[in-house]
Amino acid sequence: MTLPKTPSFSVAGKRALVAGASSGIGRACAAALGEKGAAVTLMARRASALDAIAGEMRLAGMTADILPIDITDIYKMQTSIAAKGPFDILVNSAGVARHSSATQTTPEDFDFVANLNFKSAYFLTQAVAKGLITSKKAGSLINISSQMALVGGIDRAVYAATKHAVEGFTKSMAIEWGAYGIRVNTICPTFIMTPLTLPTFENPERRQWVEDKIKLGRVGTVEDIMGAVQFLASDAAALVTGSALIVDGGWTAD
């Protein structure tokens, strides 16, 4: 009798585009895919930061190049992806937060957060999918969402709303593009220690709130996301689409 064999977590020979790659979760996702053999294109606004990260990856034996662009410039972003693609894998880690109580939200803050977290994420995912469909290639598209896509949070009405929206379009795109072999999923992290979350951790009351909600008793690190990205990008997740992979230490188990 022959035992079944686990599908490979390798993404060797694949091209990956990582948006928001200049720091935090995006940087870690780029390294995670590079470790598994992908040729990684790093995308963010800061060319100098991308150059430094790409240099580190190459020194570690990985393949990396850069695409310095602001993804909120949607037409330029789409043109660049069409010219440089197709990409087999997308990881969209570009995101922002402007926290305030719901009564204090300004239209300017609402638009700033929604434009990057929702609108740009939508059209970035669309742009990569178009390249795959035109090329008749399968692929894995991953949006970094949040546990706040499943719950609410103090001072996070706008942020949570944008992440709920990401979950909605991810499921709809997964339904539409499944026939092309394109999988679309999200990863929903808890609070991860990055420059984006530092203001929360510097507030003792907010930090206590976070630590009390995470059942495993610690905040997340970028390394906690790397295995999830490798899984969803690879053939190990060949039947996973329209799903949210929750990496929250038990926050949403209540």
pLDDT at 41: 98
- Give the number of other CB atoms < 10 A from CB of residue 76: 12
Whether 252 is covered by a domain: the verdict is no
Instruction: Decide if 167 is inside a domain.
Output: yes
Classify the phi-psi angles of 136: left when phi > 0, otherwise alpha if psi is within -120 to 50, otherwise beta. left
- Assess if residue 148 is contained within a domain: yes
Q: Which residues does the annotation mark as catalytic?
A: 159
How many domains is the chain partitioned into structurally?
A: 1
d(CA 243, CA 54): 30
- Give the pLDDT score at 78: 97
The parent domain of residue 30 ranges over 15-246
In this predicted structure, the answer to whether residue 196 has a pLDDT above a threshold of 80 is no
| Residue 123 phi, psi dihedral angles, 5° rounding | -75, -25
CA distance 114 to 239: 30
Helix (H) or strand (E) holding 50: helix 47-59
Residue 228 lies in a domain: yes
- Looking at the domain assignment, is residue 233 inside a domain? yes
Q: Within a domain: residue 223?
A: yes
Looking at the domain assignment, is residue 10 inside a domain? no
Q: Is residue 169 part of a domain?
A: yes
Cα(72)–Cα(156) distance, integer angstroms: 21
Please, which pLDDT band fits residue 45 given cuts at 50, 70 and 90?
A: very high
- Which tens digit of pLDDT belongs to each residue from 58-76? 999 999 999 999 999 999 9
Residues facing residue 89 across a β-bridge: 16, 140
pLDDT band at 199 (very low <50, low <70, confident <90, very high): confident
- If you average pLDDT over residues 97-124, what whole number do you get? 93
* Reported confidence tier of residue 206, pLDDT bands at 50, 70, 90: confident
Question: 72-86 pLDDT, tens per residue?
Answer: 999 999 999 999 999
Q: How large is the average pLDDT for residues 24-48?
A: 97
Average pLDDT value for residue range 145-162: 93
CATH number at residue 205: 3.40.50.720
